[in-house]
């Protein structure tokens, strides 16, 4: 049964354990490529060039299942310049390890988000600096692998809706150990960068030669959104601001007036430059 979500609907999560793909099923997907391609063409023919916002009242959210594999693969090949292996599509449509949510309209997937919650200690070297060491190595982080929307449905809030659902998932009380959500984005992908900035993600680092696209190396950015009390490693400005704020809070009765006034001034300056 569908549950209302404003003017959208969200369907119950499908137990992905029911969709484990055997070797026979793997060949089945391959053998049915021609059938699925013709089905995809029929679906594509129903998609108009642009869709006004008022039409999206029947958008539904549901988790991916193995039957979505070929449709998701076609979408990702259209949206992203990176060639994912076939096994990756099998994983995101069948494994409970991934948070893979689709926005569906008229029986067609019009947007999807794929993320994974993983231990901070197991991140790659280039990503290990996103959290303060004071949080320990036992905390978790969410990593957004993919977020995309069909061209005809963009600028209608679909990407924001999918991202909001992920953030609601990682900030639930039972997932308080998740301290950040991060992602990588091509440094040349200005629309995506602006979108994540509007969603309060912070630029963390530049990764030169991070992507290999069509035989050429491309740079990328790491963007981070801190949740559940997570924060970045403190720099010297953070420590100075913290010390100045702590001392200024003592008030003039505990600190000589001239020192107290200068602490207030320093606190204001450091807060401004943070």
Q: Where are the domains of the chain?
A: 56-232, 234-273
Q: Give me the count of residues in the chain.
A: 274
β-bridge pairing 178-186 and 140-149: parallel
Cα separation of 251 and 245, whole Å? 11
Task: Extract the runs of DSSP E, i.e. beta strands, from 187-269.
Answer: 202-213, 216-226
Per DSSP, 233 falls in state P
What pLDDT, on a 0 to 100 scale, did the predictor assign at position 52? 58
Q: How far is CA 272 from CA 58, 163, 214, 258, in A?
A: 45, 30, 43, 22
What pLDDT, on a 0 to 100 scale, did the predictor assign at position 18? 44
Enumerate the active-site residues. 143, 184
Which residue do the tokens 């008022």 mark?
Answer: 54
The superfamily (CATH) of domain 56-232 is Gcn5-related N-acetyltransferase (GNAT) (3.40.630.30)
What pLDDT, on a 0 to 100 scale, did the predictor assign at position 31? 44
Q: How buried is residue 65: exposed, middle or buried, by Cβ count under 10 Å (0-12/13-18/19+)? A: middle
What pLDDT, on a 0 to 100 scale, did the predictor assign at position 195? 97
What pLDDT, on a 0 to 100 scale, did the predictor assign at position 258? 61
Tokens of 218: 């491309």
Cα separation of 65 and 91, whole Å? 10
Scored b (16 or more CB within 10 A) or e, 236-266 reads: eeeebbeebeebbeeeeeebeeeebeebeeb
Which secondary structure element, helix H or strand E, spans residue 132, and what is its range? Answer: none
What pLDDT, on a 0 to 100 scale, did the predictor assign at position 137? 79
Run means of pLDDT, 10 residues per run, the chain, 274 residues: 40 43 41 44 52 68 97 96 93 96 95 97 90 88 97 93 97 96 95 96 93 89 96 67 58 58 60 52
């Amino acid at each position: 049964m569908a549950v209302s979500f404003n003017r959208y609907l969200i369907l119950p999560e499908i137990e992905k354990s029911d969709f484990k793909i055997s070797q026979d099923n793997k060949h089945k997907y391959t053998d049915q490529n021609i059938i699925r391609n013709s089905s995809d063409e029929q679906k594509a023919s129903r998609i108009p060039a642009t869709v006004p916002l008022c039409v999206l009242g029947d958008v539904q959210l549901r988790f991916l299942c193995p039957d979505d594999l070929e449709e998701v693969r076609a979408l990702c090949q259209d949206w992203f310049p990176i060639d994912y292996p076939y096994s990756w599509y099998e994983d995101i449509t069948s494994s409970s390890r991934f948070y893979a949510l689709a926005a569906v309209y008229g029986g067609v997937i019009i947007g999807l988000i794929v993320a994974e919650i993983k231990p901070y200690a197991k991140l790659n070297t280039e990503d290990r600096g996103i959290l303060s060491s004071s949080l320990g190595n036992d905390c978790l982080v969410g990593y957004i692998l993919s977020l995309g929307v069909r061209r005809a449905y963009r600028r209608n809030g679909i990407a924001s809706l999918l991202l909001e659902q992920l953030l609601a998932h990682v900030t639930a009380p039972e997932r308080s150990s998740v301290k950040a959500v991060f992602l990588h984005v091509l440094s040349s992908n200005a629309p995506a960068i602006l979108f994540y900035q509007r969603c309060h993600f912070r630029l963390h680092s530049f990764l030169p030669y991070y992507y290999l696209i069509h035989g050429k190396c491309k740079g990328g950015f790491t963007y981070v959104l801190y949740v559940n009390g997570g924060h970045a490693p403190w720099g010297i400005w953070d420590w100075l601001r913290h010390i100045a704020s702590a001392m200024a809070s003592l008030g003039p009765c505990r600190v000589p007036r001239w020192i107290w006034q200068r602490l207030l001034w320093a606190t204001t300056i450091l807060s401004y430059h943070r």
